[in-house]
Structure 1
Amino acid sequence: MRGYAPCPETPEEESVTIAITQVEQIGRDPRELIPTWAYELLVKDFRKKHHSSHDYTERVVSQNLVFLKAAGQIRRQSRRDPRAYVRIVPTRPVDEAWHEALQRTEVYLPMSLAFADSVIHHRPVMDDDIRSGAALARTIPYLKATGMYVDPEFWDDEAGSSCCPPECNDQGGRERLGNWGDLVPSGPLTIRF
């Protein structure tokens, strides 16, 4: 059998031990979501700051892309129907990759526009919804709905985690934001790349 290695039978009993030699990845590769050069920049930035292995870095950056894709899909749907809005949250490692991506604006802005037709904002929050694990439980189905591979190492058993300490809580991101007045155009915005 391909992929399985049965153990030799013992005289006392007939038993077979199966070793899994290959795990099938369900879903598309998240690296497909952005150009290769952009992905490589995000990986380089994360490795430089976190001193992590190349494999781990590629996986966490990929999971950040899956999270942002899901957040973008929710934003698009909620613009058509505000009742479609659902708050989803990253885990601590994915949020760390998000922080690094935010600093690479030449990648983050076009990526946000591709995923959400707008900027995907980051609001640092720690609240009971996150601490209880409810927010993460709500997040997982939206990640899977992207059709991308959802790496269980970065999502399973991460409930209640956030990069944000409790003192940064703004009650779930509902704090009223100010108006930019005439500093920002009110009509369609054209951005050249």
Structure 2
Amino acid sequence: MLPPTDEPYQVAQTQPVDAVWHAVLQIIEPNTAASKETAGHYVHHRPILTKAMQDGTAITYTHAALREPSYRVDLEFWGGEARSCCPPNPPHPGK
């Protein structure tokens, strides 16, 4: 279940995935290369807490987005509710 293609949405992570994401962010060169390979550009860490994360919609879209290109979704890590490592609308440096 993905939203209509013209409707933007946020993918979300669970707490275990967020912990790994933060560890990976600290390994700059491989993280930059992986970001460019998978997303086409560097993926910045701009944590937010959206309504979709709070109501569970974001994790549903995330699971669907991960399955779309036939990625294996390991529910040991991806099962559960979406989490943000920050409070709603945290300040972003430089903005």
Q: Which range, TM-score by smaller chain? A: 0.7 to 0.9
Number of aligned positions between the proteins = 90
Specify which structure has the bigger relative contact order, considering alpha-carbon pairs within 8 angstroms and separated by 6 or more residues. 2
For the pair shown, which has the larger CA radius of gyration, 1 or 2?
A: 1
CA RMSD of aligned residues (A): 2.5
Equivalences for residues 54-73 of structure 1 within 5 A:
none
Shift of 1:84: 5.8
Provide closer, same or farther for how the CA distance between residues 102 and 135 of structure 1 changes in structure 2, counting only shifts above 3 A: same
Shift of 1:112: 0.7
Q: Secondary structure of the residue that 1:147 maps to in structure 2?
A: coil
Provide closer, same or farther for how the CA distance between residues 84 and 110 of structure 1 changes in structure 2, counting only shifts above 3 A: farther
Gaps of 5+ in 1: 1-81, 179-193
Tell me the residue number matched to 2:22: 99
Q: Does the CA-based 8 Å contact 1:132-1:159 persist in structure 2?
A: no
Shift of 1:152: 1.2
Distance (whole Å) between structure 1 residues aligned to residue 16 and residue 49 of structure 2: 15
Q: Runs in 1 of length 4+ with deviation above 3 angstroms?
A: none
> Per-residue displacement from partner, 1:166-188 (whole Å, max 9, x unpaired)?
3xx228xxx8x74xxxxxxxxxx
The normalised TM-score by structure 1 is: 0.41
Equivalences for residues 78-97 of structure 1 within 5 A:
83=6, 85-97=8-20
Q: Which has the higher helix share?
A: 1
